[in-house]
Amino acid sequence: MKTKNSYNPDARNIALLPRPAYKEVLVIISKSEQINHNLLHQYFPNATFSFLSNRTEKEDNSKGMNYTLHKKDFFFKTLKNERLKNLTKKTFDLLIDLNEDNDKLIYFVENINAGLKIGCFNKPNNHLYDILTKPSLEIVDVVNSMVKQLDILTLNNKK
């Protein structure tokens, strides 16, 4: 049985900021081709984006701000891929999890230090997220909904 606060996000400094203030944003998504870059840049105009998605080939050829995960990057529950290990050491202002099906990607939601973590309902480990939104078939709808919630909470927090 889990002890209360085995995971404690209160230990983090949760940063609810106006959207233009987010500078470093990590987007986790099942497949990289699902990303709508224009939409993200429109909502977070001053952000530099990093992306983490799945890959099918065993070798990791990802570069720059793009990171990819293969199931063999884990040996049991230990991460072996050096590039991904370095990713977990980075700090982000915002983590957006749009991934729908790969449970291995949850490792990064838990282990990456981000000021704010946003995800969708109907996932295990709901407690890892600061804000949850309704899942939808369209990624665009999910992003729109997340941004709407983020704005409401930021305004309330300011008040």
Partner 1 sequence: MINLKGLGVAMVTPFNADMSIDFESLKKLTHYLIDNGVHYLVVQGTTGESPVLSEQEKLAVLDTVIKENAGRLPIVYGIGGNNTQQVAKQLAEFDVPGVDAILSVSPYYSKPTQEGIFQHFKTLAANSKLPIILYNVPGRTSSNMLPETTLRLAKTCENIIGIKEACGDLNQVMHLIKDKPMDFYIISGDDDLALPFINIGGDGVISVIGNGLPKAFSNMINAALNNDIITARKFHYQCFPLIYHLFSEGNPAGIKEVLKYYNITETTVRLPLMNVSATTKGKIVEILNNL
Q: In angstroms, give the least distance from the CB of 151 to partner 1.
A: 13
Q: Which of 39, 79, 131, 139 binds partner 1 (CB under 8 A)?
A: 131
Report H helices in the chain: 37-43, 82-89, 106-111, 139-158
Does the footprint of partner 1 cover residue 126 (CB under 8 A)?
Answer: yes
The answer to the question of residue 118 lying near partner 1 (CB under 8 A) is no
The C-alpha atoms of residue 117 and residue 45 are separated, in whole angstroms, by: 18
Contact between 158 and partner 1 by CB under 8 A: the answer reads: no
Query: Using the rule CB under 8 A, is 30 a contact of partner 1?
Result: no
Helix and strand tally (H, E) in the chain? 4, 8
| Cα dihedral across residues 62, 101, 99, 1: positive or negative | negative
Residues that bind partner 1 (CB under 8 A): 1-10, 121, 126-127, 131-133, 149, 153, 156, 159
